[in-house]
Structure 1
Amino acid sequence: MDASAAVNDSRRRDELNVTLPDSARASLEFEESQWATGSVLDDSFYTVLPSSKDAAPGTLIKLEREVDSTLFTIPPATALSRFIFQSKALNGSAVPVSGFILWPYSPRNLSDGFSIVAWAHGTSGLSPNCAPSHLKHLWQHFLGPYQSALQGYVVIAVDYAGLGVERDASGKRIVHEYLASPSHANDVFYGVQAAKSAFPELSNKFVIIGHSQGGGAAWAAAQRQALDPVEGYLGAVAVAPVTDPLAEPDPIRSFLAVGMIPGIAATFPEFQPGDILTPEGEERLDLILQVGACTTTTLTLLAGVQLLKPDWTANRYVQEYQKLTVNGGKKIEGPLLIMHGETDTSLSVEVSTQAVNETLEQFPSSQLDFVRLPGISHVPALTASQRLWMDWIGDRFAGLEVHPRHNGTILTSARPVSAYQPELNWYIERATQFYQTR
């Protein structure tokens, strides 16, 4: 984007900000306080050159080998790199995608290099400024990427297309294809390929783990591996994964559908958002995209509004998009560990269970391991199951045989469920005074 376009975007955003409800404005200001390097429009890293237009998928486009770690709130004795690579959108077109690499001080070392965990993040938003590589805490911090790095794995994490890099090499605005799991899986595989080309000291072997939107990416990666095998892939972990958004109960189903609309429109040019959105729903989605709202502001703006027309699920383009992006009932290759909390109100465990059952009915020899977590909701599924997925990842790198448990193993808690912290009730912020780190 040129300077004049950036100024115009900034002015339009400021004008729209005035019309926001107080709660949404406060939330938006909080989200902006989490940016590590200002807006992506002001960070030259996220701009790609026209010369990269014809780069093949998996090609490294840009690399910041050593990022100033003091701009981020990452654990002590970890280092950060950022990179941009070429990926493929749902329709097969080339698209540049950004991401980060989190380096442990002393990585686990295989015979051919450092062990890789590819992290697929949960929903951060629909706009470029919602990219995890752009946020001080890299979005899911100690819930996944930090803990993996602290256990000695080099963490390769992609932002997904449309988050971070705003425009492609031709200057066209990139749409974030929200919940298009096959597209996100492309980003993960091509991101690993590009990172390995930048850093030859990395092993060829890697495991993918994702949560929520990223759990869908991990599941889709296992499905992609059955169609387009990638050397070095050892398996995937899907925690609280998205599988079939249309099967979710409302209001979650409506929230997910609104987020998917830009991706549907990008895939099917004949589709018009007004075909399924109410006038107020159209207004809210436009506002979300124009102010660059991320997750918390988006949920604030969507709550309490009749977003969709009564018959929206019957729309032919919604149905076609669903067929292209749904997880479950498709062949997988390699081991896949799925874990889901039984009190998850963001993505239903019963929908995941149905997707597991459909997969096993069609492909009974699948190396699929399904674990249910009683009394656990959406985000805590990552921490409740951390011991399991850490051990599982370690076993994959150790080359141990997989013994899948198809029947939905139920994890038991040491103490009564009511005794446990139910939700995330803290956030990470940079210290500004000496006594805050003592």
Structure 2
Amino acid sequence: MKTSVRQRISGGVPGTALRVSAILATAAVMVSCSAAPVDESDRSTASFTTSRAPVASTPSESADASLFPKLGGTEPGSLTAVEPFDSVIDTVTDTGATAYRIRYMSTAAIGGGPVEVTGSVFVPGGAAPEGGWKVVAFNHGFTGIAPNCGPSLYDDLKEQWLPIAALLLNNYLVVASDYEGLGGAGGSAIAHALLDAAPLGRNVIDGVRAAADLVPSVGRQWAAFGGSLGGLATWAANEQASTYGDGLDLVGAASWVPMVDASELPRKAAAGTLTQDQLHLYLLAIMSMKATLHPDLVLSDYVRGEMYEKRDLLVLCTGPRIPEAVDFLETASAADLVPVNDAAAERMSGWLREIAVPRQRAAAPMIVIYGSADRLVDQSWIESALQRGCELGSSISWFLRPGEGHGDIDAAQAFPWIGARFDGQRAENGCAR
């Protein structure tokens, strides 16, 4: 099946980007899965000091639960607020988990100062295992750019609940960032720097730190896990794990259909070759760029016609006008996004390239899963990113799934892959082949 515009704007199909049957089957057998170790992965061992105190390597079994949650502070990862998330979809709580909505501090996309970010934490039922909970940062897919697009605002987590439930069934503590500018923290104006990899990665890392302030017995080992925009966040967190993420132990990162580098969008717009799925992504990328990183951007250099007239409608995440937005996007004209001239197209391409991945060697092994029929993220974009990642010295294994697209990718193999990383098994490095 192809991901339709209707699926993309009304729910989290591309954000989840996993086949339901494959996930449920994987969840049932993952704990017992094991594989023989393969070639040693090339991990970064650099250690840097941050302003944030490291998480204890082995949490005390006698940690005083009355001291949690630990609230307050402006350092990255400081937990600032928490409330029960009792209304979350039953599929999550039926695993025995307890759900929380949280606010925590991270480092802003603009200026690098402190910024508050929202998210969710899901704690498995029962006692923590020896060594503390193993943490998985689940990084959600493309939901929009408005402040009310954060999954934690919705009981169904913007339809991102399925992989979270599967992770909980395998006894992982799950933290899910909304990302800066989503989730309502900071006001009502657009403040989400869509496709800006570095702050996404910081938000992910600081969410893991915040989870350690929420409940006792959280270990320092964690994995990053996400698709679509969440695949970009996962990749970016991996690249920053040995510097910004000092004090934590990232064991691996699983990305599927990641939005790695969208710098070809302006050229496709100029050529009139944007897919129908890419029209909405590119419009929101332009509007986000103007609202955050490049306020001097002249919107009419990139957007015109009905797309320009309906731009405020097309940023909505919820409400009675969503059907109107969906209907428009299904027949929107690519001519409305043709840049005013080649110079404008090259300028936008440069801006998008500056915020893309890869930028540096990733700290931990990585798996990347993508499809040949993806209408949102071109296959060639991901393959170019894989090549650059290998050239930078990252350890990556990758899998191309023929005929599969952005919303129907079968990425279930990511589950046992991260389990093997937690078990200390060596990851295959496709870059070494």
TM over 0.5: yes
Q: Tell me the TM-score normalized by structure 2.
A: 0.73
Q: How many residues align?
A: 354
Confirm or deny that 1:195 pairs with 2:211.
yes
Which runs of no fewer than 5 residues in structure 2 stay unpaired? Answer: 12-70, 266-272
Confirm or deny that 1:276 pairs with 2:318.
no
Instruction: Please tell me whether the aligned partners of residues 190 and 288 of structure 2 are also in contact (alpha carbons under 8 angstroms).
Output: no
Confirm or deny that 1:84 pairs with 2:89.
no
Residue from 247, 256, 280 that aligns with 1:239: 256
Tell me the residue number matched to 2:284. Answer: 259
In structure 1, C-alpha distance between the alignment counterparts of 2:423 and 2:227, rounded to whole Å: 23
- TM-aligned CA deviation for residue 280 of structure 1: 2.6
Tell me the residue number matched to 1:17. Answer: none
Tell me the residue number matched to 1:218. Answer: 234
Instruction: Please tell me whether the aligned partners of residues 166 and 174 of structure 1 are also in contact (alpha carbons under 8 angstroms).
Output: no
Residue from 368, 373, 376 that aligns with 2:401: 373
Amino acid at match of 1:250: L
Overall identity of the aligned pairs, in %: 24
Tell me the residue number matched to 2:82. Answer: 63
Q: Tell me the TM-score normalized by structure 1.
A: 0.72
Which one has more relative contact order, counting CA pairs under 8 Å at least 6 apart? Answer: 2
How do 1:400-411 and structure 2 match up within 5 A? 400-406=425-431
Distance 1:333 1:313, change over 3 A: farther
Confirm or deny that 1:385 pairs with 2:411.
yes
Residue from 221, 226, 236 that aligns with 1:205: 221
In structure 2, C-alpha distance between the alignment counterparts of 1:232 and 1:207, rounded to whole Å: 8
Instruction: Please tell me whether the aligned partners of residues 91 and 161 of structure 2 are also in contact (alpha carbons under 8 angstroms).
Output: no
- TM-aligned CA deviation for residue 406 of structure 1: 3.4
How do 1:27-42 and structure 2 match up within 5 A? none
Instruction: Please tell me whether the aligned partners of residues 236 and 335 of structure 1 are also in contact (alpha carbons under 8 angstroms).
Output: yes
Tell me the residue number matched to 1:114. Answer: 133
- TM-aligned CA deviation for residue 73 of structure 1: 5.3
Residue from 182, 196, 200 that aligns with 2:198: 182
Give the 4+ runs in structure 1 shifted more than 6 A: 293-297
Deviations 1:366-406 (CA, angstroms, capped at 9, x unpaired): 2111111123222232xx231x2111111111122222123
- TM-aligned CA deviation for residue 292 of structure 1: 5.2
In structure 1, C-alpha distance between the alignment counterparts of 2:127 and 2:166, rounded to whole Å: 13
Deviations 1:332-351 (CA, angstroms, capped at 9, x unpaired): 22111111122222222222
Residue from 322, 326, 329 that aligns with 1:302: 329
In structure 2, C-alpha distance between the alignment counterparts of 1:309 and 1:69, rounded to whole Å: 44
- TM-aligned CA deviation for residue 258 of structure 1: 0.9
Distance 1:352 1:238, change over 3 A: same
Residue from 416, 419, 428 that aligns with 1:394: 419
Confirm or deny that 1:99 pairs with 2:86.
no
In structure 1, C-alpha distance between the alignment counterparts of 2:256 and 2:128, rounded to whole Å: 23
In structure 2, C-alpha distance between the alignment counterparts of 1:223 and 1:183, rounded to whole Å: 12
In structure 1, C-alpha distance between the alignment counterparts of 2:281 and 2:364, rounded to whole Å: 29
Distance 1:129 1:222, change over 3 A: same
Q: Calculate the aligned-residue CA RMSD, in Å.
A: 3.2
Distance 1:70 1:330, change over 3 A: closer
Residue from 97, 106, 126 that aligns with 2:145: 126
Distance 1:245 1:165, change over 3 A: same
- TM-aligned CA deviation for residue 146 of structure 1: 1.4
Deviations 1:163-188 (CA, angstroms, capped at 9, x unpaired): 212525xxx73512222222211111
Instruction: Please tell me whether the aligned partners of residues 176 and 262 of structure 1 are also in contact (alpha carbons under 8 angstroms).
Output: no
Distance 1:201 1:68, change over 3 A: same
Q: 2:74 is paired with a residue of what secondary structure? A: coil
- TM-aligned CA deviation for residue 224 of structure 1: 1.9
